[in-house]
Amino acid sequence: MSDGRAGEFLKRMQKAGEYWERASFYLKNYENDRIKSKEKASEDLWGVVSCLMNAISVVELGKPQPRHGNQREFAMQFLISEFEDGKELFKSTGRLKNCTQISIMPCNC
């Protein structure tokens, strides 16, 4: 691997690690908030999902997906490419919208 490619790889991994740490922070907040406030807990949970999707996107594409629509498209493509039943997994996330506020929360990453 050339120095330039190695440097780019390390940069991506560092940025992905930052998103991972942020996701861990939101997960701790979720654990504290889930009893107190369902609304705050759903924001925390969206923060976890958003940060993890951005971590994967940084590794895969070299950049995060800050807009909800872009994250949704990236998630769909990722699930389809990585899992045999990826399309069905993605469809099941649509059913979650009826149960949670996750789909309407702003991106926390």
Mean pLDDT of the 56-75 span: 88
DSSP 103: G
Q: In angstroms, what CA-CA distances link 95 with 6, 88, 92, 101?
A: 41, 11, 5, 12
pTM of the model: 0.72
- What angle separates helix 86-96 from helix 68-82, to the nearest 10 degrees? 140
pLDDT tens by residue, 91-104? 776 654 443 444 44
3-state SS track over 10-33: HHHHHHHHHHHHHHHHHHHHHHHH
pLDDT greater at residue 55 or residue 98 = 55
* Domain regions of the chain by residue span: 3-104
